[in-house]
Structures are given as C-alpha cells and as structure tokens.
Amino acid sequence: MAYETVVGRTRDELEKFGTSSSGFIGKHIVGTGEDAHLTTPVLIDLMKPHVILISGKRGSGKSYSAGAVLEEILKLEPEVGEKVAAVVFDPVGIYWSMKIPNEQQKDLLNEWSLKPRGFQNLKVYVPAELKKSYEEAGVPVDYALSLSPREFSPDDWILAFNLEKTSEFAVALEKNLSELLANEQDFTIEDISTKIRDDTFSSQHVKNVLISFLEVAKSWGIFSQKGLNLSEIVKPNQVSVIDLSRVHGEEWGVRNLLATWITRQVYRERVIARKEEELAKVEGSEKKEKIFPLTWLIFEEAHNFVPSDRKTVSTDSVLTIAKQGREPGVSLVVITQMPNKVHQDVLSQTDIVISFRLTSRDDLQALHAVMQTYVAEELQKYINDLPRWPGAAIILDDNLEKIFTVNIRPRLSWHSGGTAAII
C-alpha cells in the first residue's frame, strides 16, 4: 500500500487518521544536481505534540519554513483549530508580516497551486511601554504586553540580572523580594527599588547596583502593577507573536523573563487540562466547554533562550517542555543557525529536524547527536546533495525513522525576514 508522507506521524497513525489534522509544508526532492526534481507532497503532523528543531545558516530559510508550519496551524479545520494555539517568541521582529498576503511571490505560489493569503488570527503583542515605537515603525500591534513583577521569584530576577547566586547582590535582592512576595499584594518595580533603598542591612554600594539593575528592568517596558492573564495571550485558533525586536539588543533578561512566565503557565494549564480530559474519558462525561488549548511554543533564536553553555532564567522552563511537554500537549519548536549552541537536553528530545545548509563542523556534529542509527549515511552527504534551490532542506523524522530531502513550499503570507538590500 502506498502512503502519503506525513512527517511526525507513524504508519499506524497514518492508517488510522489518514492526513487529517496535518499541514502541507513542501514536496519531495528526487535526484541530485541537474537531475533533481519535485515529486509528491510532504505534510507535517499537527495532531499531537512534537519537539522540532529548525536549523540552517543565516538566510537559508529557517524562519521562512517555520512560518509555513504556522500557516498550516492557522489553516486547521475549525473543529480542530479551536483546540490549538501557538505562541511565537520573536526577538527579530519578522512574524508580524504574516498578516499580509504574499503578493510578491504570487507567480511562484501559482506554480504550486497556492494563493497569497494573510492571517488575521495572528496577533502581535509588544511591551506596553514600547508600543508607540512599534507603531511608528509601521508594525501592526494588537496588544500591549505587561506583567506584574510578583509573577517572578527571586531566583528568576537573579538569573535575569546575571548575578551569582551567592553574591551579596543576589542575597540582598532575594531578601527584599521575598519580603514583598510574602505580603501577597501586587507591587511595582519602583516598590522593589524603595524596599532595597530602605534596607538597613545592605551596603550602599549593593543598594546602588541593585537599584541600577531595576532601572534597567523598568526600561524594558513590560512591568506594571497588574499584568495580563495567560488567557489574554494564549487563545484557541490564534498564533500570538511576542515581538521583542525593539527591546535593546543585549537585553536578553526581558526576553527570557517573558518566555519563562508564558512557558511555565502554559505547562501548568495543560497539565490541569490533560487531567480533566482523561477524567472525562474515564467517567464518560462531557469535557468542559472551555479547556486550555494544546499549545505550540516557537522560539526564534533559540540558542539565546536555552543555551548550551550557561543557564538563563528561561532554561528550566523550556527544558521542562522539551522533556515533559508532549504528555500534557505542549509542542516545542526551536529555530537556530547554531544548533551546537542549543542545550543538549533539547536536542536529545527532538523527534523532527528540518535542516537547511550548515557549514560549521560543530553544528553538523550537533545534528549528528540527534540522528539515530537508522540513518546509515553521513548527514553531511545529505546536506551536500541538496540542490541549490531556495527552500531545499532535509527532514529527519524519528517517528518514521527516515530522512527526506524536501523543498519547503512558498509562503502564503509575506515573509519580512529577508536580507536587507539597497534595491
């Protein structure tokens, strides 16, 4: 029997479910060099959770292909789409343009029997205090994003400020934050500064340094006494883009704080939802009308959120999703040009790899670590044999225990992540 290729879906699942709840992402490439040509469609499973790595050198098509996957999530049939949500952590500011149809590649889309399409169920969230700068830059903003400082533990702040846990700065910060958290009242960044300023046990030098850090945190533009609830960010049949591109380039603390808060909350809500779903099955009762959706978490520039060589405030929460997220229904997609810089525990949990051209030996070795013994040939050979076409990639599927050479389909929506040029 001949089967269509649905990456991430086993043969048994394909027999049972066919191609339902899957998305069209490209076509097989057969042959090499001038003999290479496109054949049958390649789809990706969207029915169950996955851990996906998308890698390749700069400009090779990583973000473009991630956008194609997101388009397929947004195109899911209504009865399925209303059970699914996605959140994109976008430090480079390229996913907002998915609202706009890809008229620039209209002819190419026509060759693939596709049409340009924008997605209005993609919503853009930006730091509240920076909202005006986004709008002045022409970025369509849907929501201003704000969080309460009390959402974060002292350890979160220590990691966000890159402090040594045993340093006098970290000790003073933990002491004062713990006292504020114990009061069970909302507080602001200014309240933390005041609390530290009034601390009679810490030296003036320590207080000055911590207050300076807090001033920087205030400039991140995301903190207010009352922040958004997770339900205002993660919504069924919606892709929520957390656009952090206008946060100062080196300020990864705010990006990682936002990521850890959303990731933790999503995991917690899905664990609860999963129990409710299983209980309904056992008791034969109706599930709750509103249940937290299965969620895809997509990390652009993932090596900064969960790096291999250091711990950030978002490391533990992302690793929890990588190791334990599939059971409650949370997918993880990590996008990077440097897979060797992504935490090994994420790579080891990956079940789908989409890789474009890589030139670094370390990056190739990192992908080798993901590959299993059923891939007999060298990874480098597969990559070297890729035709010099835009969108040519290899897909390693641990579910089917196969490796494919694929041309990612053109985007329906506009991709704003191309390299800048004079004309």
**pLDDT tens digits, 9-20:** 998 999 999 999
Residues 28-64: pLDDT tens digits?
Answer: 999 877 788 999 999 999 999 999 999 988 888 899 9
DSSP conformation letters of 387-408? -S-TTEEEEEETTTTEEEEEEE
Predicted pLDDT at 2: 47
Residue 142 corresponds to which tokens in the numbers above?
Answer: 């849907």
Closest Cα partner for 347 from 336, 358, 357, 359?
Answer: 336
Beta bridge partners of 143: 125
DSSP conformation letters of 113-172? T------TTEEEEEEGGGHHHHHHTT----EEE-B-GGGS-HHHHHHHTT--TTSHHHHH
Instruction: In whole angstroms, give the CA distance from residue 118 to residue 67.
Output: 12
Mean pLDDT of 206-224: 92
Which one is predicted more confidently, 381 or 236? 236
Residues 59-118: pLDDT tens digits?
Answer: 888 999 999 999 999 999 989 999 999 999 999 999 999 999 999 999 999 999 999 999
Mean pLDDT of 365-382: 68
Helices (H), 10-117: 11-17, 62-74, 78-81, 106-111
Instruction: In whole angstroms, give the CA distance from residue 8 to residue 350.
Output: 11
Predicted pLDDT at 97: 96
Beta bridge partners of 299: 89, 334
Beta bridge partners of 406: 28, 393
pLDDT band at 418 (very low <50, low <70, confident <90, very high): low
Helices (H), 6-53: 11-17
Residues 117-166: pLDDT tens digits?
Answer: 999 999 999 999 889 999 998 899 999 999 999 999 999 999 999 999 99
Q: Residues of 67-86 as b/e, b for ≥16 C-beta within 10 angstroms?
A: bbbbbbbbebeeeebebbbb
